[in-house]
């Protein structure tokens, strides 16, 4: 299954339930953060986590990200690719390999 198909399914679900009225870019961004916190909660106390719960929370985060991309007419694959290209320039292998230093401090 590809991103476009999943986005179409999310749009269909939203349309059938008349939820688009609640899906402003601001509300979708808030939902990403809220669901991200729920994902983080899966790892809160130790490294023992429930993979099914992690998958469910990660799916929520990704769903809201895809909905926000769609709302803003952004191609998720393209914006990730563009960011990757910028990151590759900021963190050249010869300076960054094996380090977690911010690019301004390399």
Q: Which pLDDT belongs to residue 103?
A: 85
pTM (two decimals): 0.91
Summarize pLDDT for 4-60 with one digit per residue, the tens.
999 999 999 999 999 999 999 999 999 999 999 999 999 999 889 999 999 999 999
Q: Which pLDDT belongs to residue 77?
A: 96
C-alpha to C-alpha distance for 86 and 80, rounded to whole angstroms: 10
Q: Which pLDDT belongs to residue 105?
A: 87
More confident residue, 103 or 67: 67
Give which of 75, 69, 56 is closest to 23, Cα–Cα: 69
């Amino acid at each position: 299954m590809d991103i476009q198909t999943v986005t179409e399914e999310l749009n269909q679900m939203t349309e059938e339930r008349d939820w688009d009225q609640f899906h402003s870019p601001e509300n979708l961004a808030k939902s990403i953060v809220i669901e991200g916190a729920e994902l983080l909660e899966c790892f809160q106390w130790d490294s023992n986590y429930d993979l099914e719960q992690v998958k469910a929370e990660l799916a929520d985060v990704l769903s809201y990200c895809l909905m926000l991309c769609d709302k803003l007419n952004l191609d998720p694959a393209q914006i990730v690719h563009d960011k990757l290209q910028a990151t590759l320039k900021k963190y050249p292998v010869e300076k960054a390999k094996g380090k977690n230093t911010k690019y301004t401090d390399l």
